[in-house]
Amino acid sequence: MKPAGDRLHERFDRLRTVVDKWESRVMEMPELALEFFNRGDLQNIRSLLEERKMLLEKIRLFRAFIQKWENPGFQSILGVTKSEDEQGRKIFR
């Protein structure tokens, strides 16, 4: 029987897979834009730029989410940093 934490780890693996696919898509976009440019397809170039902007923002947000919550030794729990927590504990000693 797997420990409960393993399933959480699998979810972060899936999130990283999704982000990796988004990054691959962004890497393909310059070549696609060049194809559209050669055909004079300005509408598809515009759509590609909008998609790129959206994907880059999602990648940034998901990477930050993964970095913040995946590591079991993360420095912040519910927005309280480890140093703030330690300072608060000193008050009650």
Instruction: Find the DSSP H helices in 1-93.
Output: 4-39, 42-69, 82-91
Judge if pTM exceeds 0.85: no
Q: Which of 1-5, 13-17, 45-49, 84-88 has the lowest mean pLDDT?
A: 1-5
Distance between CA atoms of residues 74 and 62, nearest Å: 16
Q: What is the pLDDT of residue 6?
A: 58
Q: How confident is the model at residue 23 (pLDDT cuts 50, 70, 90)?
A: very high
Q: In the 8-state DSSP scheme, what is residue 68?
A: H
Tokens of 72: 């079991």
| Residue 5: closest CA among 69, 76, 79 | 69
For the cut 50, the answer to whether the pLDDT of residue 1 exceeds it is no
Q: What is the pLDDT of residue 2?
A: 52
Question: Residues 12, 74: contact at Cβ < 8 Å?
Answer: no
